[in-house]
Amino acid sequence: MSGTARPQHLRQLIAQQAARMMAEEGAQDYSYAKRKAARQLGAADDACLPTNSEIEQELKLHFEIFRSEQQPRHLHQLRSEALAVMRRLEQFNPHLAGAVLDGTAGRYAETEIHLFADSAKEVELFLLNSGIPYQMVEKPWQFGHERRRLPVFALEAAHGTIRAYVFAPDDLRNAPRRAPGGGTPARADMHTVTTLIEKTATPT
Protein backbone atom coordinates (compact mmCIF):
# COMPACT_ATOMS: atom_id res chain seq x y z
CA MET A 1 0.00 0.00 0.00
CA SER A 2 1.41 3.40 -0.98
CA GLY A 3 2.12 6.17 1.52
CA THR A 4 -0.82 8.15 0.16
CA ALA A 5 -3.24 5.22 0.31
CA ARG A 6 -2.36 4.25 3.89
CA PRO A 7 -3.88 7.32 5.63
CA GLN A 8 -6.99 7.04 3.46
CA HIS A 9 -7.35 3.36 4.36
CA LEU A 10 -6.96 4.18 8.06
CA ARG A 11 -9.55 6.95 7.70
CA GLN A 12 -12.02 4.44 6.27
CA LEU A 13 -11.28 1.93 9.04
CA ILE A 14 -11.95 4.63 11.66
CA ALA A 15 -15.23 5.54 9.94
CA GLN A 16 -16.29 1.88 9.90
CA GLN A 17 -15.38 1.35 13.55
CA ALA A 18 -17.15 4.57 14.61
CA ALA A 19 -20.24 3.54 12.64
CA ARG A 20 -20.26 0.13 14.35
CA MET A 21 -20.09 1.79 17.78
CA MET A 22 -22.99 4.08 16.91
CA ALA A 23 -25.05 1.26 15.40
CA GLU A 24 -24.46 -1.44 18.01
CA GLU A 25 -22.97 0.03 21.20
CA GLY A 26 -25.09 3.11 21.80
CA ALA A 27 -22.55 5.84 20.98
CA GLN A 28 -24.62 8.97 20.27
CA ASP A 29 -22.02 11.53 19.25
CA TYR A 30 -20.01 11.48 16.00
CA SER A 31 -17.01 13.25 17.53
CA TYR A 32 -16.82 10.86 20.48
CA ALA A 33 -17.23 7.78 18.26
CA LYS A 34 -14.57 8.78 15.74
CA ARG A 35 -12.00 9.71 18.41
CA LYS A 36 -12.58 6.50 20.35
CA ALA A 37 -12.30 4.49 17.13
CA ALA A 38 -9.06 6.30 16.27
CA ARG A 39 -7.58 5.45 19.68
CA GLN A 40 -8.55 1.80 19.29
CA LEU A 41 -6.84 1.70 15.89
CA GLY A 42 -3.74 3.55 17.11
CA ALA A 43 -4.28 6.66 14.97
CA ALA A 44 -2.74 9.73 16.62
CA ASP A 45 -3.11 12.16 13.70
CA ASP A 46 -6.36 14.15 13.52
CA ALA A 47 -5.91 14.28 9.75
CA CYS A 48 -6.96 10.62 9.72
CA LEU A 49 -10.31 11.38 11.35
CA PRO A 50 -13.27 10.91 8.98
CA THR A 51 -15.98 13.51 8.54
CA ASN A 52 -19.44 13.02 10.02
CA SER A 53 -20.74 12.45 6.49
CA GLU A 54 -18.25 9.62 5.95
CA ILE A 55 -19.36 7.95 9.17
CA GLU A 56 -23.00 8.42 8.18
CA GLN A 57 -22.36 6.62 4.90
CA GLU A 58 -20.68 3.75 6.77
CA LEU A 59 -23.64 3.64 9.16
CA LYS A 60 -26.08 3.21 6.29
CA LEU A 61 -23.86 0.52 4.76
CA HIS A 62 -23.65 -1.25 8.13
CA PHE A 63 -27.43 -1.38 8.36
CA GLU A 64 -27.74 -2.65 4.78
CA ILE A 65 -25.31 -5.49 5.49
CA PHE A 66 -26.11 -6.48 9.07
CA ARG A 67 -29.63 -5.19 9.78
CA SER A 68 -31.41 -5.11 6.44
CA GLU A 69 -34.57 -6.67 7.90
CA GLN A 70 -34.51 -5.21 11.42
CA GLN A 71 -33.59 -1.60 10.58
CA PRO A 72 -36.77 -0.62 8.67
CA ARG A 73 -38.88 -2.03 11.52
CA HIS A 74 -36.69 -0.29 14.10
CA LEU A 75 -37.04 3.08 12.35
CA HIS A 76 -40.79 2.60 11.97
CA GLN A 77 -41.13 2.02 15.72
CA LEU A 78 -38.99 5.03 16.66
CA ARG A 79 -40.67 7.37 14.18
CA SER A 80 -44.16 6.27 15.22
CA GLU A 81 -43.27 6.80 18.86
CA ALA A 82 -41.79 10.21 18.04
CA LEU A 83 -44.95 11.21 16.17
CA ALA A 84 -47.12 10.27 19.16
CA VAL A 85 -45.01 12.51 21.40
CA MET A 86 -45.04 15.30 18.82
CA ARG A 87 -48.84 15.21 18.76
CA ARG A 88 -48.95 15.63 22.53
CA LEU A 89 -46.54 18.57 22.26
CA GLU A 90 -48.26 20.07 19.22
CA GLN A 91 -48.58 23.57 20.74
CA PHE A 92 -44.76 23.87 20.66
CA ASN A 93 -44.48 23.28 16.89
CA PRO A 94 -42.46 20.04 17.26
CA HIS A 95 -40.03 18.89 14.56
CA LEU A 96 -38.24 15.56 14.38
CA ALA A 97 -34.47 15.72 13.80
CA GLY A 98 -31.33 13.62 14.04
CA ALA A 99 -30.70 9.93 13.46
CA VAL A 100 -34.33 8.79 13.73
CA LEU A 101 -35.22 11.19 10.92
CA ASP A 102 -32.25 10.54 8.63
CA GLY A 103 -32.38 6.75 9.08
CA THR A 104 -29.07 6.23 10.90
CA ALA A 105 -30.58 5.41 14.31
CA GLY A 106 -28.74 2.49 15.84
CA ARG A 107 -29.99 -0.09 18.31
CA TYR A 108 -29.71 2.26 21.29
CA ALA A 109 -30.27 5.59 19.53
CA GLU A 110 -32.07 8.43 21.24
CA THR A 111 -34.83 10.33 19.46
CA GLU A 112 -34.33 14.06 18.94
CA ILE A 113 -37.30 16.44 18.80
CA HIS A 114 -37.05 20.21 18.47
CA LEU A 115 -39.66 22.36 20.23
CA PHE A 116 -40.18 26.09 19.77
CA ALA A 117 -41.36 28.15 22.74
CA ASP A 118 -40.80 31.55 24.32
CA SER A 119 -39.33 29.84 27.39
CA ALA A 120 -38.48 26.39 28.68
CA LYS A 121 -40.82 27.08 31.60
CA GLU A 122 -43.80 26.84 29.23
CA VAL A 123 -42.75 23.36 28.20
CA GLU A 124 -41.98 22.33 31.76
CA LEU A 125 -45.40 23.46 33.02
CA PHE A 126 -47.09 21.57 30.19
CA LEU A 127 -45.22 18.38 31.07
CA LEU A 128 -46.05 18.77 34.76
CA ASN A 129 -49.74 19.46 34.10
CA SER A 130 -49.90 16.54 31.68
CA GLY A 131 -48.29 14.15 34.14
CA ILE A 132 -45.40 13.39 31.79
CA PRO A 133 -42.21 12.43 33.70
CA TYR A 134 -39.05 14.19 32.54
CA GLN A 135 -35.49 15.13 33.40
CA MET A 136 -34.13 18.52 32.37
CA VAL A 137 -30.54 19.30 31.38
CA GLU A 138 -28.79 21.88 29.19
CA LYS A 139 -26.70 21.20 26.09
CA PRO A 140 -24.50 23.53 23.98
CA TRP A 141 -25.54 24.52 20.45
CA GLN A 142 -23.83 26.77 17.95
CA PHE A 143 -25.83 29.60 16.33
CA GLY A 144 -23.50 31.16 13.76
CA HIS A 145 -20.77 32.80 15.85
CA GLU A 146 -22.84 32.55 19.01
CA ARG A 147 -22.79 29.54 21.33
CA ARG A 148 -25.79 29.00 23.56
CA ARG A 149 -26.98 26.38 26.01
CA LEU A 150 -30.38 24.92 25.22
CA PRO A 151 -32.82 23.38 27.70
CA VAL A 152 -33.40 19.70 26.94
CA PHE A 153 -36.18 17.55 28.38
CA ALA A 154 -35.46 13.81 28.48
CA LEU A 155 -38.63 11.72 28.18
CA GLU A 156 -38.56 7.94 28.59
CA ALA A 157 -40.57 6.02 26.00
CA ALA A 158 -41.12 2.35 25.16
CA HIS A 159 -38.29 2.24 22.61
CA GLY A 160 -35.77 4.53 24.28
CA THR A 161 -35.14 8.08 25.39
CA ILE A 162 -36.67 11.04 23.58
CA ARG A 163 -34.79 14.32 24.00
CA ALA A 164 -36.86 17.45 23.40
CA TYR A 165 -34.67 20.50 22.72
CA VAL A 166 -36.32 23.86 23.39
CA PHE A 167 -35.51 26.59 20.86
CA ALA A 168 -36.81 30.15 20.59
CA PRO A 169 -39.60 30.54 17.99
CA ASP A 170 -37.29 32.44 15.60
CA ASP A 171 -34.75 29.60 15.67
CA LEU A 172 -36.90 27.53 13.34
CA ARG A 173 -35.93 29.99 10.62
CA ASN A 174 -32.28 30.33 11.67
CA ALA A 175 -31.44 26.60 11.48
CA PRO A 176 -28.75 26.31 14.18
CA ARG A 177 -25.92 23.81 13.98
CA ARG A 178 -25.55 21.15 16.63
CA ALA A 179 -22.40 21.50 18.71
CA PRO A 180 -19.75 20.38 18.38
CA GLY A 181 -19.21 20.76 14.65
CA GLY A 182 -22.21 18.99 13.15
CA GLY A 183 -23.88 20.08 9.94
CA THR A 184 -27.18 21.92 9.80
CA PRO A 185 -29.79 19.50 11.16
CA ALA A 186 -32.67 18.51 8.94
CA ARG A 187 -36.05 18.94 10.61
CA ALA A 188 -39.43 17.45 9.82
CA ASP A 189 -42.81 18.65 11.08
CA MET A 190 -45.65 16.30 12.02
CA HIS A 191 -47.10 16.18 8.52
CA THR A 192 -43.71 15.25 7.03
CA VAL A 193 -43.10 12.59 9.67
CA THR A 194 -46.57 11.13 9.08
CA THR A 195 -45.87 10.92 5.35
CA LEU A 196 -42.46 9.35 5.99
CA ILE A 197 -44.00 6.68 8.23
CA GLU A 198 -46.67 5.87 5.64
CA LYS A 199 -44.11 5.61 2.83
CA THR A 200 -41.75 3.37 4.79
CA ALA A 201 -44.33 1.19 6.54
CA THR A 202 -43.23 -2.44 6.73
CA PRO A 203 -45.24 -5.57 7.49
CA THR A 204 -45.05 -6.64 11.14
> SS3 of 67, please?
coil
- Residue closest to 45 by CA, chosen among 77, 72, 76, 14: 14
How far is Cα 147 from Cα 141, in angstroms, rounded to an integer?
6
Q: How many domains, in total, are found in the chain?
A: 2
What is the DSSP track for 2-57? Answer: -TTHHHHHHHHHHHHHHHHIIIII----HHHHHHHHHHHTT---GGGPPPHHHHHH
pLDDT in tens, 103-133: 888 888 899 999 999 999 999 999 999 999 9
Its domain, for residue 127, covers: 70-199
Q: Say yes or no: 91 and 170 in one domain.
A: yes
pLDDT tens for each residue of 19-59: 888 888 878 788 888 899 989 888 877 778 888 889 888 88
At which of 32, 66, 100 does a domain end? 66
pTM listed for this prediction: 0.78
Contacting residues for 78 by C-beta, under 8 A, at least 6 apart = 100, 105, 109, 111, 159, 160
Residues 159 and 107 in one domain: yes
Boundary of a domain, candidates 18, 48, 66: 66
Residues 19 and 108 in one domain: no
